[in-house]
Structure 1
Amino acid sequence: MNLLKFLVINPADNVGVALRTIEKGETVEANGKFVTACEEIATGHKMAICPISAGECVTKYGYTIGSAKSDISAGSWVHTHNLKTNLNDKLAYRYEPALTPPTPLPPATFEGFLREDGRVGVRNELWILPTVGCVNSIARLIERKAQALVSGSIDGIYAFPHPYGCSQLGGDHLNTQKALAGLVRHPNAGGVLVLGLGCENNNLDAFKKVLGETNPNRVKFLVCQESDDEIADALSLLEQLASYAGSFKRQTCSAQELMIGLKCGGSDGLSGITANPLVGVFSDMLTAQGGSSILTEVPEMFGAETILMNRCRDEKTFQKTVALIDGFKDYFIRYHQTIYENPSPGNKAGGISTLEDKSLGCTQKGGSGTVVDVLSYGDPICEHGLNLLEAPGNDLVASTALAVSGAQIVLFTTGRGTPFGCPVPTVKIASNSALSRKKAGWIDFNAGQSIEGVPMDQLSKTFFDYVLRVASGERTVGEQHGMRDLAIFKDGVTL
C-alpha cells in the first residue's frame, strides 16, 4: 500500500497538507523540493513549504485561504495562530463563465419504485408526519403499534416528530409548511399519514393550501381532537395506506431519475482532499447520466462562491446565485452576527483554519458540473443537473432541506464522524481510514483509500456502484440502526 505522507494540492500553493502526522525534524517532499518540519504537523493540518511574510496570502487548492498574521518559515505549522481570514462584508460579483461539458457515460440503472406521478423512489415506506409538535408522542406511539404492517415491498414505517407547526409567524410558519409538504410529496414514501392536533396554526385546512392536491389513496389525514380514539383511527388509515403502497414493486429505472443531496459535516483537513472530491466526481458522473445533485450549506460557500457563480449556465442562474449568497449574508447581519464566524471547533481540531479553507473543500462536493438552478428553502427540484439550495450549514437542518427538495439519498462526508440520519437514506463517507475503522457503526464508505494507493477513478466507480445499490434497496448503516431525524429551518419569533 502506497501511503503518501504529505500533499501539495495545487502547484500554486505555498502550503501542503499532512496526510499522516509529520514529526518535528522530519523531511518531506513538496513540489520537487524537500522541506523539514520545524514542529509536529498533525494529520490534516497545513505546513508552509516556503517562507510566507506577514500579510502575504496563504494559498491552498490554488486559491487564497487567508493571510499570514506574522512571518511564517518553511516547515512551520500553519493554522489559526498565524493565519486569518481575508473575508469581510458583502462583495460585488461579476459573471465570468467557466463551464466544463460533461463526459458522456454508458447508461446506468437501479431498481426503484416508479410512482404514479412519474417520479421514482428508492424506498417504499409509510411516513407519519405531524403538522405540529404537540402530537409528536402520538405519532411515535402509532409508529410502534403499526410495525406489523411492514411486509412485502414496504420497507418500513417511520414517524418524524418536530417542535414546530404552532406559535410561529411569517416565514417560519411557511418554512414549516413547505418542509412538511415536501416530505408528503416525497417519492420514497409510498403512503403518508398527516397527523394534526386541531387547534394549531398549521391545522389541516391551512396546511392543505400549501400542500395542494394529493392522491387520497396515498395521503390520509387525521385530526386527533376530532377522533374518539386517534390510535385506532390512525392504524385503520395506515392499513389502507399499506395496501396501496404494497402494490408498488421495484423495477429497473434509469439513473437519470436519481436526485442526490450533497452534504458534509464534522469536516477535517482531509475532507477537501478525499471525501468531498470523491462526491464531486460522483456528482459529475450522475449529472452526465442526466441525473440531479443538490449542493447546500450556503455559509460554507462563502469564500468559494465565485467558483460556483462562474459555473452557472447563464446570467439568470448567476444572478440567482448572487441573491442566494447575499441573502444568507443579510440573514447573519440581521441578527448582528459575524458573517464569517466559521469553522467549528471540530473543524479547527481537524486542520481547517479559515472559512475560505473550509469552503474551498466543501464546494468540491459539486464536482465540476454546471449549476443549472438555485432553489429557495423548501422548493422542489425541477432541473436535471447540479442545483444549489438555500439552507444553513447545520447538519440536520441542511440534510432535511435536501430531502424536502426531493433528494432520495443524501451523501454525507465527514472527517470527525456523526451518527445522525435524515428522512432519506444518509450515506456516511469517511475522509480518513482511521475514522472508518473506529466508527464502523456510523460509516458506509471509506474515501481515505484515495490517499492509500487506490486511484480516484477506480474508487469513484466503486462508490458510484455502491450508491446505485443503496438506491436499489441496500440499507445504509444508519438505516440499519434506525437513525432518522427531522430538523426544520427556523428564523424568527416563537410566540
Structure 2
Amino acid sequence: MEDLVILNGNDNVAIATKKLANGDTVTVNDKQLKLVSSISAGSKVALQAIAAGKDVIKLGQVIGRSTADIAAGQLVDESNLENAADAKPLPVDDDLSQYVSQQTFMGYRRKNGKVGIRNDLFIVATVGCITPLMDVMVQQFKAAHPDNGSFDDIVLLKHPYGCSQLGEDFEQTRQILCDAALHPNAGGVLLFGLGCENNQMSGMKETIEKMAGIDPERMKFLVAQDVKDEFATAQQMLEELNTAAANDHREPVPLSELKVGLQSVQPDALAPLTANRLLAHLANVINANGGSTVLTGLPELAAAQDDLVSRSADSSVAEKVNHVFDHIRDYYDEFDQELVKKPSDKELAEGITTAKEVALNAIQLAGSAPISDALLYGHKVTTPGLNLLEAPNNDLIDASAAAAADCQMVVVSTGVATPYASFVPSVKVATNSELAAKKQRWFDYDGGQALSESFDKAAKDFVDYIIKIASGEETSNEKAGLHGLAIFKIGVTE
C-alpha cells in the first residue's frame, strides 16, 4: 500500500493512507519526499513548497488558499489553509473513451421500453394512516406464495404523509408516489388508499396517466373505504398482478440502460482514497457507455456550484444547474439556514479543511463526465450522462429522490454503518476494511480494497460486482428485507 496517494495529476497535495511520522521519507511519483509534520490517515501533505496566498489543489480543483508559507512535506490543514470562494474552476479531463465497454447486464425490459433490474411487487400507500394494513396484505399473499410468486421481492412504500398537506408540499408528496409507482423495477404495483385523505386516488390516477399512462394489467388501485373487505379485494388484485408477471424474464441489456444514484453518507478521512474513487470509476464506465448517473445532496455540493456550472455540457444545462441551486437556496433562506455545508469538527480532525473541499469530495463520486442535465426534486432522468438532482443531503430522502428519478439502484460511499435503504437496491460501500468487517450485514462492498490491492484491479472488480447486482444478485438490504421511502417535506401541516 502506498503511503501517499495523488488523486489528480494537477494536485499539489497528496493524501496519506496511514499515520506517518515527522521525519519519515516516503516515495511519491518515484520521488523521495521528507515529511516535516506528523500526518494522520486521510490528511493532506504538500508535495512542493506552497507560498502564502497560493492555491491549494486537490482532486484537480482549488480547495482553498494558503494563509502561510507551506513547506514540501508539511501538513496542510486549518492552520495554513482557508476557503477561497473566489477561486476559478480548473479544466476537467472529460475524455471517457478508455471506459467504453461491451459489458451487459441481465435486466427486465418493460412494455414502455424502460429496463428494470428487479421484478418487484410494489405496494404504494397514498396516505400514512393505512400503512399497517399493508403488512397484513403481504402476509396473506406470502401465505399463498412463500417464494413471492412471480416477483423477486415485495416492497412496501410506507410514509407518514398524504393528508393534511397543503400546496406545493402536497403536490410534492403526490409526485414522488407517482414516480415510485412508475418505476421500472416494479413488475406489478398496487396503489392503496383510504378514501378521505387529501391525496385522493383520482388525483393519483390522473397524474400517472399524464406521466406515462396506466397499464391495467400491471397497476391496480384500491380504496379501502370503497370496498367491504379491503384484504380480500387486495388479494384478488395481487393475484391478478402475479399472473400478469408470470412470464417476465431477464435478458441481456447494454450498460446504456443503467441508471445509478451516487451518494456520499458521512465520509471518513479515507473516503476520497477508497469508496469515492470506486464510485467515480463506476460513474465513468456508466456514462462512457451511454448510461445515466445521478448526483444528489445539494448542501454538500453548494460550495462548488461554480465548478458544477463549468462542467455543464452547454449553456442551457448551466442555467439549469444554477436554477436547481437557486431553488433549494430559496428554501433554506426561508428558514434562515445556510445552504453551504462547512466541515464539521469530525471532518476537521480527519483532514477536511474547507467547505470547497467538502464539496469536491462529494463531486468526486460523479467521475469526470460533463453534466448533461439538472433536475428539480421529483423529476425523472431523461438525459444520458451525469445528472444533478435537487435533494437536501438527507440519507434516505436523497436515496428516495434518486430512486424516484428512475435510478434502478443507489450506490453509497459511507464512513459509518447505517442500515437504511430506499425502495431500490442500495449498495453500501465501506470506506475502510475495518468498518466493512464490523458490519457485514449492512455493507455490500469493502472499499478498502482500493488501497490493499492495485486500484485498477479494485475498480474493475467493483464494476463487475455492480453488474452482478444489476443482474439479480441481492444487496444486504434486500437479504434483510429492508426498504424505505422518505419524502422531502417543505410545508406546514394544517
Contact 2:46 2:75 in 1 (8 A): yes
SS at match of 1:413: strand
Name the CA distance, whole Å, in 1 between partners of 2:289 and 2:9.
Answer: 32
Name the CA distance, whole Å, in 1 between partners of 2:139 and 2:79.
Answer: 52
Task: Tell me what 1:192 maps to.
Answer: 189
Please say which of residues 413-422 and 23-32 is displaced more in the overlay.
23-32
Task: Tell me what 1:435 maps to.
Answer: 435
SS at match of 2:380: coil
Cα deviation, residue 227, structure 1:
2.7
Residues 1:165 and 1:345: Cα distance change in structure 2 (over 3 Å): farther
Name the CA distance, whole Å, in 2 between partners of 1:346 and 1:227.
Answer: 55
Name the CA distance, whole Å, in 2 between partners of 1:103 and 1:153.
Answer: 40
Residues 1:152 and 1:381: Cα distance change in structure 2 (over 3 Å): same
Name the CA distance, whole Å, in 2 between partners of 1:37 and 1:367.
Answer: 33
Give the aligned residue type for 1:165: G
1:120 maps to 2:120: no
Q: TM-score, normalised by structure 2?
A: 0.90
Task: Tell me what 2:173 maps to.
Answer: 176
Cα deviation, residue 335, structure 1:
1.6
Contact 2:450 2:459 in 1 (8 A): no
Residues 1:465 and 1:51: Cα distance change in structure 2 (over 3 Å): closer
Give the aligned residue type for 1:242: N
Alignment of 1:347-358 (within 5 A): 347-348=347-348, 350-358=350-358
Name the CA distance, whole Å, in 2 between partners of 1:334 and 1:192.
Answer: 37
Name the count of aligned residue pairs.
Answer: 488
Q: TM-score, normalised by structure 1?
A: 0.90
SS at match of 2:263: strand
Task: Tell me what 1:289 maps to.
Answer: 289
Taking only aligned residues, the RMSD between alpha carbons, in angstroms, comes to: 2.8
Cα deviation, residue 344, structure 1:
4.7
Identity %: 38
Task: Tell me what 2:152 maps to.
Answer: 155
SS at match of 1:290: coil
* Structure 2: gaps of 5 or more residues: none
1:425 maps to 2:422: no
What are the Cα deviations for residues 254-287 of structure 1, in whole angstroms up to 9, with x where unaligned? 2221111111112122222222222222122122
Cα deviation, residue 142, structure 1:
2.0
Task: Tell me what 1:232 maps to.
Answer: 232
Alignment of 1:4-403 (within 5 A): 4-10=2-8, 13-23=11-21, 26-29=24-27, 32-36=31-35, 38-39=37-38, 41-48=39-46, 57-67=55-65, 77-80=75-78, 83-87=81-85, 99-100=94-95, 102-103=97-98, 105-148=100-143, 149=145, 150-151=147-148, 153-212=150-209, 213-344=213-344, 347-348=347-348, 350-403=350-403
What are the Cα deviations for residues 148-167 of structure 1, in whole angstroms up to 9, with x where unaligned? 43445411112121111112
Name the CA distance, whole Å, in 2 between partners of 1:134 and 1:80.
Answer: 49
Residues 1:188 and 1:35: Cα distance change in structure 2 (over 3 Å): same
Contact 1:419 1:442 in 2 (8 A): yes
Contact 1:272 1:360 in 2 (8 A): no
Contact 1:272 1:361 in 2 (8 A): yes
SS at match of 2:391: coil
Give the aligned residue type for 1:297: G
Name the CA distance, whole Å, in 2 between partners of 1:385 and 1:183.
Answer: 22
Cα deviation, residue 192, structure 1:
0.8
SS at match of 2:62: strand
Please say which of residues 136-145 and 179-188 is displaced more in the overlay.
136-145
Give the aligned residue type for 1:459: A
Name the CA distance, whole Å, in 1 between partners of 2:6 and 2:459.
Answer: 21
